[in-house]
Chains A and B, each alone.
Chain A
Amino acid sequence: MARQVLKKVALLAILMGIPSGIHALANEPANAPALRSNVSKLPDMSKSGIELPVKGIIGDLRMSLSADVKQKTGGALKAPLPKNPAKTVDNSEKPALKQAPSLKVEPGKVRWHKAIQTAMEASSQSGKPVLLFQMMGRLDDRFC
């Protein structure tokens, strides 16, 4: 009798565990602390609270995500970077934005120069310092 009860409890625990993992990855705020508690402690936690560190997430979920990891790392990460990414934020690319409106966003209300060289030339004229914002991904992408 006791063994049957234990089996039921174990089955229930497995069933409860799978959906909670998916919800945590989906970044639902209500479940975020549950995922964070499983993330490895890093010496430098900056930004890890906002975007969970890859190592912690992958460490916990790598088996379930193996097919996706293969797809992502094999394609996207090997793609060559544009020489001048900021330059691509240009009127000439507006048609592309229309084709995939859900993936492109306005890069804030700042009037960005198209390239660092342009910003430096403007700086030598205006006397203002250059503000260079470096990032992984693109400021005009939904996922950046």
Chain B
Amino acid sequence: MLFSDEVIARVINDRFEPVWVSVRDVPTVTIDFGKGHKLTRTLHGNVATYVLTADGTIIDVLPGLYESHQYLSQLNQLWWVHHYAVKTPEPAVFLADYHNEQSKAIKTSGKAKVVKPFADMSKMSIEISTKTILRSPVNLKAAGATSAATAPEMIERPDFSKPHQLKHWRKIYEDTDVNEHQRRGQIHRILANRPNAKPDDVTKEIYRDVLHADIDDPYLGLQETLFRDYPFQEDRPPTPDKISQKHG
């Protein structure tokens, strides 16, 4: 849905080198009604958008699904963070500082700081630092930012066959708010301690601790729930304890 949007696709194509990867299969449920009548749907499809330097160093991560305006706004800001980071003599120090500042801002005010764009770097008489490039969000509504509280037109029950209605689904705005005000803070804390991290270094941690989907576990951490009342003993997978005993 997000990448079918003309504006988002154009911005991504113009300003980024995009690639998608699958971290694992998505869980699905199928109900077989017989006589060829089946219904399938996904249950849990968490996503994360990373912005990286050319050597794969993580600039920042947007966890989960975002409403399109916020997604564009965040991508634009991360483009600028990348722009500054690659120009500093010590990108790791700059990134650690950036993540620390954002983590503190979210913790204290509930909102991350906004990244200021400086197109002409030669006019910057002072050194690039988080103090010069970050500012507190003053009036998000006036700045065009949207959230579940400020979005002008939200649809409670969209027609799922109409993408323009899905864009304004209230649930997307609410998820965006949670991503920005809760999950993003966790991401900043992880990256503040590992400013040189590559995606492979933190993906499992992000999925397990931020997105609450342990991709190392074939049952996504749901084994106890799935098999607690399951009647067929022979189908039950070994518990993690038994697996470790077997290999130990």
Contact = CB atoms under 8 A, between A and B. Distances in A.
B42 A137 contact: yes
A72 B29 contact: yes
Chain B: interface size category: 35 or more
Looking at chain B's contact residues, the main secondary structure is: mixed
A73 B219 contact: yes
B21 A68 contact: no
Interface in A91-144: 106-116, 118-124, 126, 128-139, 141, 143-144
A85 B19 CA distance: 10
Interface in B1-37: 2-6, 8-9, 12-13, 15-32
B79 interface: yes
Interface stretch (B89-97, B104-112, B226-234): B226-234
Chain A: interface size category: 35 or more
Given A120-B56, A128-B16, A143-B40, A133 B21 contact: yes
A77 B32 contact: no
A128 B17 CA distance: 6
B202 to A, nearest CB: 11
A73 B169 CA distance: 31
Given A81-B23, A116-B199, 20 more contacts: A25-B29, A46-B64, A46-B175, A46-B178, A47-B64, A50-B172, A57-B43, A74-B235, A108-B4, A109-B6, A110-B8, A112-B19, A120-B55, A123-B17, A130-B52, A131-B52, A133-B47, A134-B21, A136-B45, A138-B26
5 contacts: A29-B157, A47-B64, A57-B29, A129-B82, A144-B45
